[in-house]
Structure 1
Amino acid sequence: MSFFSRRQPRAGHEDSVPVPPAPRYRDLSADRQSFLKERFMQQITRESAPAPPPVPPARPGRQRRTALVAAPALLVAAVATAVSLTGVFGDSAATTVSAADHHEARRLLDRIALVAAERPARTVRDEHYVYTKIKGSWPGPKGGTDVFVREDWIAVNGERNGLALQVFEPGSPSLDFRSQDRKMVLHKDPNVTTYRELEALPTAPDTLLKKIQRDTGGQGPTHDEAVFEAIAEMLPQSTLRPELNAALYRATARIPGVVVKQDAVDAAGRHGVGLAFHTDGDSVVWVFDKDRLTYLGTNKVALLDVGIADATDQRPLSR
């Protein structure tokens, strides 16, 4: 089964693609908004017990994408892209970007790739866990905004259960009916692509892009958007694989319509330089530190930390 094929989550398992409620973009129907919100709330609040209630199907004609990485990594990038990419860009998105603007993006991505490739690699054993820490927000259940910090531990080879710890910040509406600190078991799930599977991806940019294009065929409002989203899903974990990380940025540079957004701000309030399909409206933006060019997450969900842990509930000792 390809990395980008549509997989069905099993009852009683954490869903692989937690998606926040989508803003009302012009191409996003009311039933799709309802579906996204319900699915996200199930993922973020459910503990490992009974099977989840059924959710309404996605809008006909639009395929739902499968996770390439575990839930926390998706929250950093792919969740944000799911909010905006499922409806905001039309078929002419790439044509609205000038050649000069896209060239600027290609130059920035080349610099980011060079920095990514120079980071040290480390040996990762099957008994390890990929650790991520994120910060994000979404509309509260009865108004207001929930702000949360979440840590996740996902088994490198997917053969063991993982762990999620989530804390709502003071003032979040959800604190009225949920405990502030939530611990959730993340069950072993064959529907989640593991670190080992990402490790097997090709690292030649053209070969990698062709594979992503092939495996995302028929997805998204446009194919380029589906490719962009698929790459976004891999960015958090790929920071641990320098060669793959660099290849993903060089592959992104080959996608028509990608542009630079100056003075982008991630969900933790950190300023940096951004990349997006375009700079209009509330489109998702990947954010990078202006000086170090390290990936900070997106304007929707910030990546606070990523590393390799020896066990669940233990933070990485080294980067």
Structure 2
Amino acid sequence: MIRTPWRRREEPLDHAELRRLLPAPGDPELSSDRLRGLEEHLMTEIRNRTPDTAPDTAPDTAPNPLAGPPPAGAPAGDRASRPGRRSGRRPVLVGVGVAAALALAAAGVAALAGGPGGSGGSEDPGRVAAPPAGAVPAPVVQVVRGSTAGLAGAVADISGAAARAELPEPGPGQFLYIRSEVSGLVSWEGSDGKNRSYVDKIHPREVWMSPDGAKGWLLEPHGKGTGCGGITLDDPEGGERTLNSPSHAYLKTLPTDPSLLLEKIYDETRGMGNGPDQQAFGTIGNLLREQVVPPKLAAGLYRAAARIPGVVLVDDSVDAAGRHGIAIARTDESDGSRTEWIFDRETFAYLGERTVQTRDAEGIRAGTVRGYTAVTGRAVVDALKQRPAGSAPGGDRAGAPAAPSAGT
């Protein structure tokens, strides 16, 4: 509280006068070291608060008939989240989250600094006149209501296809390679004070990881914070492997029984995210998006996800490559965003993921596509930064994306 002897306590403060007394805003340009530090911080925050998924304004459907009693690791009664735990290393499985979060942070830093693109003059320096570079208006779609009707049959088909999939298995000295098309939300407040929802232009993202997770590389030249040459994902200290910071070798140690899997997921993610059910769903989604999951484990993960309260089947969804399919989905009760895992209608192969706003919230209108991905390739290569034969460079989008492998 500001106290001055000549001002009566009930007299309002002169905010315009206070603004004139403040120093001029600094230069918004950040050094590469500062950007790298910001990325590291955001990666840590994303690990502890997974930002995906959600039920509609009206719930999608009645209680999930596959859910059954809560796993032993799931808290009973009040589902409010508790302070999260931190794992030993930053995860690779951030998908669209990194691009979206870094875009938000960069826009926020520029807005606070009142730099180029700011409103300037006598207007509020916290607002900018133009959206971030590379951003386009977020698509708005009709929200298709989800239902538990048909969920059991769809999960049986999807898990069966995953169990039968012939996925690449890395050998000594080899690397897992995952290529996807991605786009994430960029919130922007214009100089008129109105919030607008923009997304990054759809762009390629490539990840290389050694089976033990010790070496890796991320290339996302059109994203935020990686630069044209990419960034290292090396973990020379060999941090602890967890569900939110896994390696391929770690995934092979997990149980494949759905009940045991779900119990472990609830226990290991206790206190993280927007409630235990939402965090469990998000954790499984992260594993599916940017890993090569062993076939039997993938089948178990799908069956485990179907038992999470609030999970529904959506008849139609579209990935970042424009491919339509059915979706297993869940709505985040806290913000109304619904994350949809999309599968081919014929082969039941995993295609990608989409997050759609189901109700007006936080300045985002219902139907806004907050982000989406499309997995276009999973392979094993012999060296870091090497691409499979016939694969286009990460900075190019040559032709239509190739269909992903069956299962995950």
Structure 1 length-normalised TM: 0.64
**1:125 matched to 2:125:** no
**1:188 matched to 2:235:** yes
Quote how far apart the aligned CAs of 1:268 are. Answer: 2.4
Number of residues of Structure 1 aligned to a counterpart in Structure 2: 248
* Gaps in structure 1 of 5+ consecutive residues: 1-10, 26-59, 81-97
Conserved in 2, the CA contact under 8 Å of 1:219 and 1:226? yes
In structure 2, what is the Cα distance between the partners aligned to 1:117 and 1:179? 35
Q: 72, 75, 83: which one pairs with 2:95?
A: 75
Conserved in 2, the CA contact under 8 Å of 1:257 and 1:277? yes
In structure 2, what is the Cα distance between the partners aligned to 1:254 and 1:179? 37
Q: Which residue of the partner structure matches residue 214 of structure 1? A: 267
Q: Which residue of the partner structure matches residue 305 of structure 1? A: 377
In structure 2, what is the Cα distance between the partners aligned to 1:293 and 1:166? 28
In structure 2, what is the Cα distance between the partners aligned to 1:16 and 1:104? 37
Deviations 1:182-236 (Å, cap 9, x if unpaired)?
A: 3222222626321111111011122212211222223333221121111112113
Deviations 1:226-276 (Å, cap 9, x if unpaired)?
A: 211111121135554111111101111211221111110112222111111
The 1:218/1:153 distance shift into structure 2, 3 A limit, reads same
**1:137 matched to 2:137:** no
Quote how far apart the aligned CAs of 1:140 are. Answer: 5.4
Aligned partner of 2:84: which letter? Q
Deviations 1:57-91 (Å, cap 9, x if unpaired)?
A: xxx945267599942x43169999xxxxxxxxxxx
Which of the two has higher C-alpha Rg? 2
Conserved in 1, the CA contact under 8 Å of 2:324 and 2:344? yes
Deviations 1:134-186 (Å, cap 9, x if unpaired)?
A: 222235597854223111111111233x22222329xxxx7xxx997332222
The 1:201/1:290 distance shift into structure 2, 3 A limit, reads same
SS of residue matched to 1:231: helix
In structure 2, what is the Cα distance between the partners aligned to 1:140 and 1:12? 17
Q: Which residue of the partner structure matches residue 251 of structure 2? A: 198
- RMSD across aligned positions (CA): 4.1
* Gaps in structure 2 of 5+ consecutive residues: 1-36, 55-80, 101-144, 191-197, 355-371, 391-404
In structure 1, what is the Cα distance between the partners aligned to 2:321 and 2:232? 26
Conserved in 1, the CA contact under 8 Å of 2:317 and 2:325? yes
Deviations 1:81-107 (Å, cap 9, x if unpaired)?
A: xxxxxxxxxxxxxxxxx9x93252222
Conserved in 1, the CA contact under 8 Å of 2:213 and 2:247? yes
Matches within 5 A, 1:92-103: 101-103=147-149
Deviations 1:43-64 (Å, cap 9, x if unpaired)?
A: xxxxxxxxxxxxxxxxx94526
**1:225 matched to 2:278:** yes
SS of residue matched to 1:181: coil
In structure 1, what is the Cα distance between the partners aligned to 2:84 and 2:341? 23
Matches within 5 A, 1:127-276: 127-139=173-185, 145-147=199-201, 148-160=203-215, 162-168=216-222, 181-188=228-235, 190=239, 192-236=245-289, 239-276=292-329
The 1:304/1:16 distance shift into structure 2, 3 A limit, reads farther
Quote how far apart the aligned CAs of 1:301 are. Answer: 2.2
**1:63 matched to 2:84:** yes
Q: Which residue of the partner structure matches residue 284 of structure 1? A: 339
In structure 2, what is the Cα distance between the partners aligned to 1:312 and 1:18? 25
The 1:296/1:254 distance shift into structure 2, 3 A limit, reads same
Conserved in 2, the CA contact under 8 Å of 1:268 and 1:302? yes
Deviations 1:112-132 (Å, cap 9, x if unpaired)?
A: 000111112554224222211
